[in-house]
Amino acid sequence: MSLQEQQNFLAKLYTDAELRRAFLSAPEKIGAENDLNEREIAEIAEIMPEELNFFADSLFWKRLREAEKFLPVTRKILGEEFSGKFREFSQTFNPRTVKKHFEDALEFCRFLRHRNISELVGNAAKFEQTKLEFFGLEKRIAVCRLNFDFRNLSDSGSDKPFELPEKKQIFVVWLRLGKSFRQFYF
């Protein structure tokens, strides 16, 4: 197995709790199923379960904190549920690009939108997904139709008390003009 394939397996092992449990209980079987040779299986199996779980947990918390920075509106809307939903998401997705935190946040928005948790959560994820795509993918224009007005949430500091956004149909447009950009609400 190439070094890249080993690293990909380790990344999957650190992020997928089910795979980690299976590997710890049957390393030879799971290693062989993932194209590891005996030496590679032995090297990975030498890692103590506590160390493996500690590192996996540390990686999860780092990913979570970075996603929270990218998604402040969604974080406010979900509140304490944010970390649970992100843990569920992180079990199924591993970023592949060099912009891992950006990719995590973008895919987490897609994950939330497909879960149909609530109209409010779906709209918050749609708003932030569109915004991320505009800035991160350097689009010239991005348009988002929403059923909630997130202006107060996206502009407010974290120390302000949370208030539900007003329910009304609104369009948000981001427009890039040279090196600057403009954001409009209609």
Which residue matches tokens 């060099």?
98
CA-nearest of 83, 92, 139, 130 to 109 is: 130
Residue 60, pLDDT > 60, answer yes
Lowest mean pLDDT among 19-28, 101-110, 132-141, 154-163: 154-163
Length of the chain, in residues = 186
Residue 106, pLDDT > 80, answer yes
| Over residues 113-122, mean pLDDT | 94
More confident residue, 148 or 152: 148
Question: For residue 41, what pLDDT is reported?
Answer: 86
Helix (H) or strand (E) holding 177: strand 166-177
Q: How many CA atoms lie within 13 A of 77 on its CB side?
A: 27
Question: For residue 112, what pLDDT is reported?
Answer: 97
More confident residue, 12 or 171: 171
